[in-house]
Structures are given as structure tokens and as C-alpha cells.
A and B are shown apart, each in its own frame.
Chain A
């Protein structure tokens, strides 16, 4: 149960095994590849991320245990490649990146008191995290996380424009990369504002990503 989507994959794999066509072999090989990647990631005592574009979910996992599940409102992939390997997070770019607050010790000595009273306010909380940011990986992959605007008709138009402009920009980048013969894969992920904040907060440095699509 800790890896339900993988179980489903195996089940699907078994179901497909009676069919003998190239597509089935391709699918089961992909499942095998993803399982191998997960086995490698789970062998390390650090959190890793499984981005499942088929089920529109993002899983934060460790040792095969799902720590947190994020819902994806919408997604799109632009680029060339199979995405059947590990991608290590290199950096996260955000326009409004959060800044840590410094504790300023009092200038004058005072009576000793129990610790933890000075930092009641101004802590660095999940709400301070950005909701629009880009994860840059090795091997030419980047994942753009953006906020899904919920509300009336106007906000749904905003979501649509946001998506189309993103697609245009990334399609242009794909053409440019194709001409330069450099790898380019861009995944656009739209999440709720809270999930986007929480994912940024929980994102481990240099995390390994496994992508299912």
C-alpha cells in the first residue's frame, strides 16, 4: 500500500502480459525502468519525488513510503525525450524567493530566562513560500510550478491565458533547442496555491525526481 501506484503498474503489467504486441513490451519495460529507479531512490535515506503525470499526482516519498501527496490541477509536457531516468534537482528559481529572518540578540545583557521566548513571531512559515517557481534539473529538464487560480470566470480565463502563453514560450524554446541540438524538456505543473507553497517548503535540496508519463 505504501507504493500503490507502483502496485497498479505491476497489476497493469500482468494484465498486459497476455497481449503480444510491441506496445505492451514498451509499456512493461517502462514500468520496469520506473521500478528500478524507485528501488534505487528508496535505498537512500533521503526524500525523493515521484511526479505522476498520468494520475496527476506528485508524491513526496522516502524508503518507498509516501510522506505527502500533492494534487496536480493541470499539466503539460513540451520537449523531446523519454523521461525514464533520475533527474537531480540543481536549483529552484523563484521571483519572490523567501528570505530567512535573522534573530537579533539584545545588545545589553539581561537576566537569564528559558529559551524560545524570543522567537514567537516572525518565523519562517509555509505561507512565506512562493507559489510560482521553476525547478531546474540536470539533463535539460525543468519543471515549472504555477498556481491554479480558483474562482470566477475571469480567473479561469487567466488560467487559460497563462497556460497558452506558457506553451508558446516553451514551444519557442523547444524550437531553439532543436536548432542548437541541445536537450530540452519542460513540464508545466499547475497546483493549488497551498500545495505549491507546501511543495516548495518540503522540497529537499538536490532531490531525485522520477517522472511517470
Chain B
């Protein structure tokens, strides 16, 4: 009798524990649901009341005139924005995709795979405060110079990166044939130029300049004038 009762108690305890756990889960979910709903409902009413308070009442008699006046003003503003857009050909460079677009209005005249800044940085081992970040610049630029058969005047970082001494003689910095047949200067030492490393086109590997393949560079060079806008993003 006792044994039976004992066994039955064990079964009842296990069952009780299971039910207790289920009950707790249901309680927890209910509380979560109630809190979730309450917070959302309160947030909804706060937003609704606030936005209603912002709306301003106008005199209905003047509505048509007000709408007309604002419409006219809107047209003027739209025109002024359109006037800021570039006239003629312009260049857009997508540094995420490493693609250069030669455009006129909304038309894409030519598209080229390019290489842009690697985003890496270099610290001068001799002067730790000297640091270079090799990003392509972003924003609005314009073609400031057009060069045929450009030569590269190597900056200090190029020697430091190679682990060689920075030369004192200017002529030792000059390197021919590495920038391709043409270069377009966009300011601050940045150029759109050719490359020897065509296998790297499409990858962000440069020190900030935009490298273009020979055939594409020829088209871009011929289409761009001094003052042509260049947008880099």
C-alpha cells in the first residue's frame, strides 16, 4: 500500500513539476505579451497626440492662394537645383564597385572598370607622427590638368613603403611609363591615370589615384575638358 502510494507520489510530483514549468512559461509569455502590447499602445498614442498637435489650422478661404504661391516657389527652387547639376560631360566614380562612368545628364556615355584607393595606411617608421591613409578622395572635383605621357614624381610614402631611403635629389623621384599614356589631374596630387597593373583593375589597390585601363583612359581623356566635373563616392 505504502509502496503504491510512494510510486504514485513520484508520478504526481513529476507531473506537477511539468505542469508548473508549463504554467511558468505561459505566465512569462503572457506578461511579455501584455508588456509588449502596452508599450506599443502607449508609444502609438504618444506619437499620435504629438503629430496632431503639430498640425496647424489654416483659413480655408486663403487655401487656394497659399497653394498657388507655394507651387510657384517650388518651381523656382527646383529650377535652382537643376542649375547646380553639371552641364556637358562629367565623370562619376563609384569606389565601392570600382567603376567609372562618363555621363552627360542621365545618359551613361562610357563605363570603365578602375582601381581606387586601398584604404590602408602607412606610418613612417622613422617619424611616427607621419601617417598616410590611402583613400580615394570623396566629393566634387574638377579636371584641373590634362597631361600626355605623364611621369610620376614619387612622393615620400612610395619610398617608405618600398623600404628605401627618400632621395634628396628631385630627379631621383621621377619615374616614367608607370602612369600610362594620359593623366587627368583633379587636385591635391590625385590623378585619373593609366596603369601597368591591368590585372588589378576592379580592385581597391591604389594610393588614392584612379587607375584606368589604356583604351578606357583614351576615351575619358578625349571626352574630358579642363573644368569637367568629377564626382567620387
Residue numbers in A under 8 Å from B134 (CB-CB): 103, 119
Question: Does any Cβ of A come within 8 Å of B5's Cβ?
Answer: no
Beta-carbon contact of B105 and A1 below 8 Å: yes
Beta-carbon contact of B118 and A124 below 8 Å: yes
Give the A interface residue count (CB, 8 A).
81
Distance (whole angstroms) from the CB of A108 to the closest CB of chain B: 6
- Residue pairs across A and B with Cβ atoms less than 8 A apart, 16 shown, are A13-B67, A20-B67, A22-B55, A25-B66, A28-B66, A28-B70, A32-B74, A63-B86, A63-B140, A65-B85, A68-B233, A80-B51, A164-B36, A167-B40, A174-B46, A204-B139
Residue among A2, A43, A110, A171 making CB contact with B40, cutoff 8 Å: A171
Residue numbers in A under 8 Å from B165 (CB-CB): 109
Residue numbers in A under 8 Å from B205 (CB-CB): 116, 119-120, 123
Residue numbers in B under 8 Å from A119 (CB-CB): 118, 120, 134, 205
Question: Does any Cβ of B come within 8 Å of A125's Cβ?
Answer: yes
Beta-carbon contact of B75 and A10 below 8 Å: yes
Question: Does any Cβ of A come within 8 Å of B64's Cβ?
Answer: yes
Residue among B55, B73, B84, B94 making CB contact with A32, cutoff 8 Å: B73
Beta-carbon contact of B231 and A67 below 8 Å: yes
**A interface residue numbers (CB < 8 A to B):** 1-3, 6-7, 9-10, 13-14, 16-22, 24-26, 28-29, 31-32, 35-36, 38-39, 42-43, 45-47, 60, 62-65, 67-68, 78-82, 100-103, 105-110, 112-120, 122-126, 164, 167-168, 171-172, 174-175, 178, 197-198, 201-202, 204
Residue among B78, B94, B203 making CB contact with A7, cutoff 8 Å: B78
Whole-angstrom CA separation of A198 from B197 in the bound complex: 25
Residue numbers in A under 8 Å from B207 (CB-CB): 115-116
Residue among A80, A101, A167, A175 making CB contact with B120, cutoff 8 Å: A101
Give the B interface residue count (CB, 8 A).
75
Residue among A35, A103, A109, A204 making CB contact with B78, cutoff 8 Å: A35
Question: Does any Cβ of A come within 8 Å of B109's Cβ?
Answer: no
Distance (whole angstroms) from the CB of B57 to the closest CB of chain A: 6
Interface string of B28-58 (1 = CB under 8 A from A): 0000000010011011001100110011111
Residue among B43, B70, B125 making CB contact with A174, cutoff 8 Å: B43
Beta-carbon contact of B140 and A32 below 8 Å: no
- With contacts A78-B43, A80-B47 taken as known, whether A38 is within 8 angstroms of B74 at the C-beta atoms is no
Stretch of B18-26, B153-161, B219-227 lying at the A interface = B153-161
Beta-carbon contact of B42 and A171 below 8 Å: yes
Beta-carbon contact of A47 and B138 below 8 Å: yes
Distance (whole angstroms) from the CB of B52 to the closest CB of chain A: 11
Beta-carbon contact of A123 and B203 below 8 Å: yes
